Structures are given as structure tokens and as C-alpha cells.
A and B are shown apart, each in its own frame.
Chain A
Amino acid sequence: MNGVFDLAGTEGLGPVVVPEAEPVFRAEWEKTVFPMFAMCFRAGFFGVDQFRHGIEQMDPAVYLKSPYYEHWIHTVEHFGEKLGKLDMSELDRRTQYYFDNPDAPLPEHKDDPELLAFVEAVVPAGATAKRESDKEARFQVGDRVRVVRSSPKGHTRRARYIRGAVGEVVLAHGVFIYPDTAGNGLGEDPEHVYTVRFPNSELWGTEHAEPNGSVYIDVWDPYIEILTPSPAAATTTEGAHS
């Protein structure tokens, strides 16, 4: 999906503003929204790739102007509505109620030891997107590759600024959930992930690029096409023939 969230190289947004110090959460409501990611994930609202795609479908003007955690509210509502887990007219009714009665209490409820245990377990353990697979890697470190130029309509992590660009594979990470399927609700379909290095001049043009710099970005196997195989691989092949 070509959207405003894909920000690399966008100009005219103004300076990066860095406060001296700021709290982890800037408002009380942020403390409620942050845990929604993990807890709604547990409740089957979304996977992490779908979570991102929900955010990508926000009103672009609001995306750019709203406080960060408002993005998370949007994606929780998006999937809550889509999956029939949230009645939106009831949500609107309660919103008006709490707006008019900001001190009104939350519904009475009991603690849930299992939910607490989930929090205590998931923070230190995480949930890796890495998958065991015997799928063969089509690329290796040293390969010169070109990023596929097309514009998929759903979720993808193939950022616009690298499409069509030529770079070199510098790291191979193994096999991970593929966002182009998982983010669109089409299953994990794991693929190899590599880091590709692009010189600044390749991305922005020599006359517009900062000198002596490069961008390193991760790509899944289907994102790239071979241009020139690694010289190391060529040597190996020659060796096999001699």
C-alpha cells in the first residue's frame, strides 16, 4: 500500500524536535493504549503485521498530526469492528458518556490471574517471527540485487524509496513470517530475510545525496531479483569445475 506512513525521504515536515527529557507515557490515556497491543493480540484481534496494516489505513492527515498512540487506538478499533468484537455504536455511546462524565468509573471487574501471568511471561520471552524452514535461500551475502518495483495494494514492507534500487546483500537472517501475506490475513508463508545495503547516491542521486553514507534495510526473498551473483559464489562454482 502506497501511503503516508512510508515516510523515508519525505520533505517539508519540519524539523525533528527533541525535548530535553520526557516521560515514557505523556498522558494517562497512553498508559491504557500501550497494553492494548499485547492484550488484544492475545485475544485474537490481530498479528503484528495486521496491527501495522490497521494503522496504515488511518486517515493520512490524522496519521501525520495525531499523537503516536492514537495510531494504536485506530488499529484496535479497525480490527474490533472488522471481527465483530466491538459494537461501534456502543463505543460511540460510551465515548460520549465518559466525555460528559470524565470521572465516571470503569466497569467493575475481577482481576484475571491468567492475563497477569501472560504479561509477566510475554515481556521477557517475546514472540519471535522467526520460523524453522527448509526453504532454500535464493540469495547470499555478496549478491548484487534489484528491489522489485511494483506497488502492491495491501500490506508490504517493501518501502517505496528502495523500489527499483540496486544494492548488495550484506546479511542473511534466516526465515521469518512474510508480512505481505500475514499482514493481509493470508497466513504466515515464511520467507528468507536479508539486509541489503544501498549507497545514498543510489537512493537519492549523487547530486542530492549526502556523501559517504548508506542505508541498510531488510527485505524478504520475494522483494529482490538477482543482478550479479556474489563474486564468492562465482569462485566456488569455478572451483567446482576445475
Chain B
Amino acid sequence: MVGSAIKVSFIAMGVIFLVLTILIGLIQILVKLIPYEAPPAPPAKPQAAAGPDEGETVAAIHAAVARHRGQTPESIQITHIQPR
């Protein structure tokens, strides 16, 4: 019984190596036939132009922040707006 188990083990390992070696060969053929091509670089995103109502929005936020802090709008200066 152990003898036949050893025989089965050798045959089975042989089959596994055979199947996986065939797959290695096929992968190599595929990789050679279809080489990797780097995708084209995406076009640069144009800088969003300031909309007509952007100034009004900033002014409204400015006033709201000042009111929330209990200060006058003049005492707060918005120095930078992070574009979305």
C-alpha cells in the first residue's frame, strides 16, 4: 500500500509539473506576442477659470466666518483658496 502511495506521488508530482510547465510556456508566448505598452499620459487638466459668481460666494463665506468669530469682515483676510 505504501509502495503504491509512493508511486502515485511521483506520478502526480510529474503531472503537476507538466501542467504548470505548459502554462509557463503559454504565458511566455502570450507576453511575447502582446508586449506591455505604457498608457498615454492623461492630458493636463486646464486650470478652472473663476466663475462669475465666485467672488460673491467668497464674500458670503467671508462674512459668515467673521460673524461666527464675532469680528468685522475687515479684520479677516482670505489669503488662499484651494481649488477643488
A and B bind = no
